[in-house]
Amino acid sequence: MKKGWKISLFGGVTSALILSSAAANSVPNVQAKKADASIHNRTAAYEGVKLPEEVIAAAKKKGIDVATHQPAHLIKGPHELNPKGTVGIQPITSEQKVIALYLKFPDEVPTKVSYDHMPLGQLNDLLFGEEYNPYTMNQFDKYTTYNGTPAPTNRTLKNYYKEASYGKVNVTGEVVEVQMPHPYSYYEIGKPVGVVSNDYGDYTMALLVNDAVKAADAQVDFSQFAVNGEVPNIFLIHPGTGAEWNLDPSIIWSHKWEVSEAAYYNEYAQNGVEPANWDYEAHKITVDGVKVNSYAIEPEVGGDLTGYLGAVSGPYPPQVGVYAHEFGHVLGLPDLYDYGYDSEAVGAYTIMASGSWTRYPNAAPYSGNSPVHFDAWSKIFLGIETPVTVDAGQKTFTLKPASGEKGAVKLVVPGSHGSEYFLIENRQQQQGTFDLGLSRYGSHGLAIYHVDENVLKRNFWRPNEAQNWFQSRKQQVNVDPSTGETHYGISVMQADNQWNLERNSNSGDAGDLYTTGKVFSPTSTPNSGSYYFSNGSGTSANYTGIFVKNIKENSDGSISFTAGFEK
């Protein structure tokens, strides 16, 4: 072991795991910590990947409420604060150096299917290579093609971020195999731990991460991955599948979190009492003279290997979608799906929602192999995109597909002081790009997003809980009990006026985006009204005057249009 290792887990590793037969369905009332803003911010850091459409459908068929079968933090945790206190641009650095720990346990994880574990080289290719071809493995060669369509072999984390950032971001790193000191069963995932039920391993996750980092210390110099004294993120890859494939509480749900917050939950599990004056800094891991706190954990293969929802499926090749989604959280982005699963929010039009599961070809083994690009707001937030802002008059634009070139237009709602606006970008199913995943839904055209930064300022980590599809966009609707909001922070204006995303009908369809001849205006359906009576000007209280017209899709995939304000 190299010098500099320190366990910072409330009194030592061995005391962290409370193995008890007593269990309750209680979770810590993290709302009780309202007085400490830093605690709010830490709690908000738990971000789990959205369930794929097939899993949601299978769960509903079995009468399972997916909203209540989630990690406790997605149900109870406060998510209202932005850790940096702003929704302004937070540009990312170009070089992203990442360490991934491939965990090997003395025992096997829960599974009803025997399968070959992923070779280290394949996982290195998946994350840091330019080519990834799992179909050379015997267990995956049957997925080389689907109905005559070959599976793409360039779907890697490195390639995703290179494409989605227009060449700005370079993801490098290595995957290291780590022999865990304890069996998987030691962490009591899905079993009683102290006074709680340890579904998905949430209450012992701090112990698992500490053990993984300690076991890796002999072969990894963590200081080589640190920025300003702290490692921005480590990936943990665990054997088997993830609970996002089947809701099985005995396996881990892929997520991004922080060790210092996970340790808080572990402490609570001992007796059901929330620790007072929790020192988050002290509960980070210190190793090689730097801190390790933020982590993201994902499975080595896909499919329902435990048959929790019925028939066993898989194993499927691990795909890049979940990794790219969780890395989006590492860079500072929130989830843009509805945690309550009663709507789709931004749906398939961003990797931070259902777009992490888009695929090509369109079959379950490829789920997540073609995650779509970030939405326009996320690209602006990360400093990848700089929109052309129009706040008066009108201009004519030609935007090329967002999967290949920068290009976004911002229309600011009058009277909003820049806090409410519409964003426009061109989304196409371009061959060879990650947005080819949109082909599953038939979507192409101008994507028009309605953004309310007031919601983002209040509920940055859960901005899309309250769906509102009323035509004038200003009516009061039922207040979302978890956030207090009445509409999304970021929504997709759906050209067909069906509001299927809000109504939870689908994750996207061919009618959502604006194609040749369609119009978006104060009198169209849907229209360009503000969410607020006080914004806008004109004959009605929420009239903005904003329009997008003369839309024409060109043969090269570009779209021409005129956007601005009525006189």
Q: Do 220 and 351 fall within a single domain?
A: no
- Estimate the crossing angle of helix 120-128 against helix 157-164, to 10 degrees: 0
Residues 295 and 441 in one domain: no
H or E element, residue 362: none
Mean pLDDT, residues 69-96: 66
* Whether the Cβ atoms of residue 529 and residue 474 lie closer than 8 Å to each other: yes
Q: Are residues 304 and 343 in the same domain?
A: no
277 token code pair: 């004056």
> Is 166 contained in some domain?
yes
Residue 546 has pLDDT above 90, yes or no: yes
Mean pLDDT, residues 42-52:
71
Q: What is the DSSP letter of 347?
A: G
Looking at the structure, tell me whether residues 413 and 309 fall in a common domain.
no
**392 and 244 in one domain?**
no
Q: Above 90 in pLDDT, residue 123? A: yes
Q: What does the alpha-carbon distance between residue 265 and residue 269 come to, in Å, rounded to a whole number?
A: 6
Percentage of the chain modeled with pLDDT above 90: 77
- Cα separations in angstroms, 36 against 85, 101, 268, 283, 560: 14, 33, 18, 17, 50
Instruction: Please check whether residue 243 lies inside any domain of the structure.
Output: yes
Q: Greater confidence, 536 or 47? A: 47
Of 298, 332, 366, the position where a domain reaches its end is: 332
Task: Tell me how long the chain is.
Answer: 567
Which residue from 451, 453, 7 is spatially nearest to 266, judged by alpha carbons? 7
Q: Do residues 262 and 274 both lie within one domain?
A: yes
Q: What is the mean pLDDT of residues 195-222?
A: 96
Q: Which residue has the higher pLDDT, 139 or 13?
A: 139
Tens of pLDDT along 389-416? 999 999 999 999 999 999 999 999 999 9
Domain end, chosen from 310, 332, 354, is at: 332
Pairing of strands 95-104, 234-238: parallel
Q: Per-residue confidence at 72, pLDDT binned at 50, 70, 90?
A: low
DSSP letter string, 141-160: GGGSEETTEEPPS---HHHH
Place of tokens 């229209």: 527
Handedness of CA 465, 456, 526, 495 (dihedral sign): negative
Strands, E, within 304-414: which ranges?
388-390, 394-399, 409-412
- 298 is a domain residue: yes
Q: Inform me whether the pLDDT recorded for 473 exceeds 80.
A: no
**What share of the chain has pLDDT > 70, as a percent?**
87
The pLDDT value given to residue 44: 42
Rounded CA-CA distance 388/397 in Å is 10
Residue 6 belongs to some domain of the structure: no
Query: Are 346 and 336 contacting, i.e. CB atoms less than 8 angstroms apart?
Result: yes
Residue 85: its pLDDT value, please?
Answer: 57
Mean pLDDT of 502-524: 97
Q: Which of 341, 369, 340, 344 is nearest to 354 (CA)?
A: 344
Q: Give the mean pLDDT of 357-362.
A: 98
Distance between CA atoms of residues 45 and 345, nearest Å: 20
Asked whether 150 and 205 are in contact (CB, 8 A), the reply is no
Distance CA 116, CA 138 (A): 9
Higher pLDDT among residues 467 and 161, named by residue: 161
Q: Do the Cβ atoms of 345 and 339 come closer than 8 Å?
A: no
Residue appearing with tokens 């709680």? 196
Average pLDDT over residues 518-524: 96
> How much is the pLDDT for 17?
34
Whether residue 13 has pLDDT greater than 60: no
Say yes or no: 284 and 379 in one domain: no
The pLDDT assigned to 43 comes to 40
CB 264 within 8 A of CB 361: no
Q: Which strands sit side by side in the sheet containing 170-179, from one edge to the other?
A: 47-48, 255-258, 294-299, 234-238, 95-104, 170-179
User: Tokens 């290579």 — which residue?
Assistant: 129
Residue 39 pLDDT greater than 70, yes or no: no
Among 275, 226, 241, which residue's Cα sits nearest to residue 98?
Answer: 226
* In-domain check, residue 504: yes
Please report whether residue 3 resides in a domain.
Answer: no
Give the per-residue pLDDT at 6.
Answer: 39
pLDDT at 46 over 90: no
Structure tokens of 171?
């993801």
Q: Within this chain, do residues 265 and 353 fall inside the same structural domain, yes or no?
A: no
Q: Is the pLDDT reported for residue 477 higher than 80?
A: no
The total of structural domains in the chain comes to 2
What pLDDT is attached to residue 69? 78
Instruction: List, in order, residues 6 or more apart from 155 with CB less than 8 Å away.
Output: 132, 319, 320, 369, 370, 434
Radius of gyration of the chain (CA): 23
340 shares a domain with 278:
no
pLDDT reported for residue 86:
66
Average pLDDT, the chain: 88
236-264 pLDDT, tens digit per residue, is: 999 999 999 999 999 999 999 999 989 98
Which position has the token pair 């050379």?
Answer: 136
Same domain, 338 and 372: yes
347 and 204 in a common domain? no
Determine, yes or no, domain membership for 1: no
Tell whether 317 and 358 lie within a shared domain: no
Of 177-181, 298-302, 542-546, the poorest mean pLDDT is in 542-546
Q: Specify if 169 maps to a domain.
A: yes
Here the tokens at position 67 are 């909203």
Contacts of 529 (CB under 8 A, 6+ apart): 472, 473, 474, 522, 536, 540, 542, 543, 544
Closest residue by Cα to residue 260 from 9, 16, 44? 9
Q: How confident is the model at residue 18 (pLDDT cuts 50, 70, 90)?
A: very low
- The pTM of this model reads 0.91
Q: Give residue 326's pLDDT band: very low, low, confident or very high (50, 70, 90).
A: very high
301, 332, 363 - which closes a domain: 332
- For 107, the domain range is 13-85+94-332
pLDDT of residue 234: 98
**Ramachandran angles phi, psi of 103, nearest 5°:** -80, 130
